[in-house]
Amino acid sequence: MAFGLAHAYLIWYGDILFPYSLCGLLLFAVRNWPPLRMLNVLLVLIFAITAGAIHQGFDRIEKKQKAEAVIKTEKGGGKLTDEQKKVKEEWEESLKRHEPPRADLQKEVDNYRASYAKALAERAKKVTEWHSGPIYSPGLGDMWTMMLLGMALLRLGVLQAARSEAFYLKMAIAGYAIGLPLNAWSVWTWVRSNYNILQEDFSFAPCHVGRVAVALAHLAVLMLVVKRGWLTWLTRRLAAVGQMALSNYLAESIICSFVFYSHGFALIGQLQRYQLYYVVFGVWLFNLIWSPIWLRH
């Protein structure tokens, strides 16, 4: 939690350590649950998150209809009540969050390029907002879900490559068969709608199941690689990166803040999307080279 607060305010607002620490405090109490109970709770949580996304989608449609009725009343010369004003403001705020005005985006970029003090103030606004959310929010619920899954898999010996090769092969096939079509449908419907705010929640609802399935499939493939002794030159380096997870996580933020913010090259907003991958691969290469050397010495 302490590292997360420092990381969020001083380096990068997208910090994950603070919310992870909140989840860890809660999940510590259930660490001795039987794996089957963990998986049952996991399924309930995934269902709740998926259902919540669908509910939010219908809620947005209702808010849009109410806002349109208020705007129609306003254009017709009618005087708005406080409740009607609130309906209109909430919908306008939703649209603004979904597609921020270009001037607001430029102001944010300019602050990150200007000085560390202005970047710190810019970060603080987002961090304060994110950290003030309720502990039962969907975002934290999603983290509890993934953590419970990891805890159950550890207890079942899946993460240690202790199961048979046939088990991992079936796990990979089932995971990709379920996850890839669901994720592809999510992306296709989202892009086809031209990123319409009213489609967003409906498009991503199946993804909550799909991404878990694909993650399990990736995990199964990795376990097969380890059990077969393939690519040891890479898996040993990946293992070293994993052993230094916290150090590498913070190092990535420090490197990228130097690349993108005012105290470094100030490249925020300057690179095309494909050029960002050069930064990604550069940081990965650094992690893979640096981690084994650090652990060795």
- Asked, for residue 26, whether it belongs to a domain, the answer is yes
Q: Which residues of the chain have pLDDT under 70?
A: none
pLDDT for 136 equals: 76
**Dihedral (Cα; 91, 93, 98, 101), 10-degree rounding:** 130
Which of 248, 253, 250, 186 lies closest to 214 in space, CA to CA?
A: 186
Q: What angle do CA 130, 12, 296 make, to 5 degrees?
A: 125
Percent of all residues in the chain with a pLDDT value above 70, rounded to a whole number: 100
pLDDT for 130 equals: 87
- Asked, for residue 50, whether it belongs to a domain, the answer is yes
- Asked, for residue 76, whether it belongs to a domain, the answer is yes
- Asked, for residue 235, whether it belongs to a domain, the answer is no
Residue type, 33: W
Q: Which domain does 71 fall in, by range?
A: 1-156
Structural tokens at position 84: 């009607």
- Asked, for residue 272, whether it belongs to a domain, the answer is no
CA distance 297 to 294: 5
pTM: 0.88
- Asked, for residue 112, whether it belongs to a domain, the answer is yes
- Asked, for residue 216, whether it belongs to a domain, the answer is no
Q: How many domains does the chain have?
A: 1
Which of 240, 220, 228, 226 lies closest to 284 in space, CA to CA?
A: 240
Tokens 């419907």 label which residue? 189
Q: Containing H/E element for 185?
A: helix 165-192
- Asked, for residue 133, whether it belongs to a domain, the answer is yes
pLDDT for 53 equals: 92
Please report, in angstroms and rounded to a whole number, the separation of the first and last CA atoms in the chain: 28
